[in-house]
């Protein structure tokens, strides 16, 4: 696994708390996690929380580093009315040092949850990782399927995000 280095966001302005930072993680960072990132960003903006929560995404594996979001994921987002933020996406691989950067790391399936917890350098870092779906089930990977699988995946993400928005609203 290759860790990509990105600059940390600007420090908070005096008198303002540092925004919460959330990172969605799937396998290659070209389907599920960019879709979840787009959904959460839009929901946070609708709730007036856009400046108080920063949203990002990455993958557990480096297969697609630097590649754009899958065109089928972008099409599913566009069809559902989301802003085309995923169009400028470049896939990245989550690294152990990234735990210091994020307050919450959201796994899209149980294999990502296990991989992230193994990667975590400390118990506190591992405790930052949670599964997106509250019932503990996976967001299925649409990559090897038909276009309709991306729309179905997006619906699952949309159903799970309100719980996350509620938790972030309380924390922010």
The residues that are catalytic are: 26, 32, 141
Considering only CA atoms, which of 56, 74, 58 is closest in space to residue 66? 58
How far is residue 129's CA from residue 25's CA, in Å, rounded to a whole number? 10
Phi-psi region of 111 (alpha: psi -120 to 50; beta: other; left: phi over 0): alpha
Q: What is the CA radius of gyration of the chain?
A: 15
* Token pair in block for residue 126: 């591992």
């Amino acid at each position: 696994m290759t860790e990509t280095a990105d600059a940390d966001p600007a420090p908070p302005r005096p008198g303002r708390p540092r925004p919460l930072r959330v990172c969605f993680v799937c396998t290659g960072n070209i389907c599920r996690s960019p879709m979840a990132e787009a959904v959460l960003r839009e929901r946070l903006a609708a709730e007036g929380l856009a400046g108080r929560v920063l949203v990002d995404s990455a993958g557990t594996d480096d297969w697609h580093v630097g590649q754009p979001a899958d065109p089928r994921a972008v099409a599913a987002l566009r069809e559902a009315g989301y802003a085309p933020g995923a169009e400028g996406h470049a896939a990245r691989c989550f690294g152990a040092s990234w735990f210091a950067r994020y307050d919450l790391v959201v796994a899209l399936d149980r294999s990502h949850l296990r991989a992230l917890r193994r990667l975590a350098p400390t118990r506190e870092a591992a405790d930052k990782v949670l599964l997106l779906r509250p019932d503990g089930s996976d967001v299925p990977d649409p990559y090897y399927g038909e276009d309709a699988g991306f729309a179905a995946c997006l619906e699952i993400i949309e159903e799970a995000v309100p719980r996350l928005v509620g938790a972030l609203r309380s924390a922010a």
